[in-house]
Chains A and B, each alone.
Chain A
Amino acid sequence: MSKVPQFSRAARWLHWSMALLLLSLLFAGLTMVRALEPWQLTLLQLHKSFGLVALVLVLIRLWVRMRTQAPALPADLAAWQRVSARLSHIGLYACMLAMPVSGYLMQNAAGRPLEVFGVLTLPALLEVDLAVYGMLREVHGWVALAFIVLILVHVAAALQHGLIRRDGVLQTMTGRRRP
């Protein structure tokens, strides 16, 4: 059983900065694929560059998660809630990885150069291929939907712990937990 009262400072910092980044990426993505507005191109370029920042951050985060201990859930939590918590967290990590990886590769398959913030050009890892593009584009769209559903469930669960159960689980990530 884990002895630590809360998530490490690094884990908390990564959690909240990535929460902000990923929500922004989701909203930017949903908006820019529809927009016929003059700012569409700028938003698209920011989406790609920050999407690659998210890829770097999620790799660091997975590394931090493996190396540090996470706090235990309260002992009185029902078994189904423990299992759901675990599965939803695995799902969130899977989405965090699948989104930027599919984004990167679909640009390769479309033969579009990938410039990060207009300074660094990344290599193409895939050949140009319409069917492969089609598959990756659908992955990027459908995983985004699954990600949104998981985020809503995650937020609801966190608020349930913080406002209804008031069992200190929310505080393990806000960092206000007093042991």
Chain B
Amino acid sequence: MAQAVSWWRYALVGVLVGALALAFYVAATGFPSSKVDAQDFVDLQQGATPHEGFRRAHAKGFCVAGDFVSSGALADYSTATLFAAGSTPLQGRISIAGNNPMAPDLKAPVRSLALSIETAAGDVWRTAMNTPPVMAVRHPQDFYQQLVALGNGTIQQFFAEHPESATFREWAAGYRASGSFATEVYHSINAFYLVAANGERQAVRWRAVPRAELVDTVPAEFADSDDALQQEFTARLREQPVVFDLVFTLAEASDDETDPTVLWPAARTEIVAGQIVLRSATAQLEGDCNAINFDPLVLPDGMAPTADKILRARSAAYAESYRRRAREQ
């Protein structure tokens, strides 16, 4: 290598390597876009002082276990084996919204039921359901702004600027929290497809409807505890299993399955897929549910996600929360 090397050859090497490095930087950070990403979302949800080792949303909860007892009524609509008549074991988690694992049960605006149902063949269905039947907004960027507005006291202004929140507000105005986790209705909110053997897709939503008789208020013996609802539920389980009907609503052509802010008309066909039977409860850090990320995009063959933008945003955010708490073990 005796000959002199002209400057542009060095420059070319620098430019090529620099361009590749820059491309990696942009992929890793999103720069220069200022769009909210999964990390921003979880940063906001966990708050300024994260509760290490806990979920960054719905941090307070407990594990439940039992079975999904399928009636077989959905077998014509979906090839998923767990919808054939029969029983499949499930792991679940009952929780309240919020990032504080010590929050008082009775102050929470939203209650939740999450399920992970796994067949012997290894097919898995995960779902995380909430008490509201709809979202207030239809875009993850707006949902982020909604959480910001909730935090800084401008939520009324936010709702005024988002007319799509009308159905949600109407529900919130009429909702009265019951005295038990066992007597709430939990909604999928987002819609999914059932996929039949011939490939036909049917858009659906589902909800878990309690079999137990409604109790308006928590029994006095538990009412003073921060864990009132957990204690009530555990006491209830000592008497008998807690059962929900899993009710599917079938969309029609005029329903927009990608919009989580609207309810479908009450006249839509409903099918009871079977019962969720909860037989035991365990503290969350000791239970099997602690290792589970209830990512609603984990679906068995025979089910598929819709293009609902809120639904599609959930996987990355749940994974980021899961990564953080797993790292803190």
Contact = CB atoms under 8 A, between A and B. Distances in A.
Given A35-B37, A152-B17, A164-B5, A41 B315 contact: yes
A163 B5 CA distance: 9
Pick the 4 closest A-B CB pairs, nearest first: A134-B326, A36-B313, A34-B37, A131-B329
A31 B116 CA distance: 27
B196 interface: no
A175 interface: no
B315 A34 contact: no
Interface of B: 1, 5, 9-10, 12-13, 16-17, 20-21, 23-24, 27-28, 30, 35-39, 41, 116, 118, 122-124, 140-141, 288, 290-293, 297-298, 305, 307, 309, 312-313, 315-317, 319-320, 322-323, 325-329
Main secondary structure of the interface of B (DSSP, over half): helix
12 contacts: A30-B24, A36-B36, A36-B312, A40-B315, A76-B1, A110-B291, A111-B118, A129-B291, A130-B291, A133-B322, A134-B329, A163-B9
Contacts of A30: 24, 27-28
Contact of A137 (B41, B290, B323): B323
A119 B35 CA distance: 35
A41 B326 contact: no
A31 B27 contact: yes
A128 interface: yes
A128 B292 contact: yes
B16 A159 contact: yes
B30 to A, nearest CB: 6
B259 to A, nearest CB: 13
Given A27-B27, A33-B316, A113-B123, A155 B140 contact: no
B13 A156 contact: yes
Contacts of A33: 38, 316, 319-320
Nearest to B29: A34
A39 B325 CA distance: 25
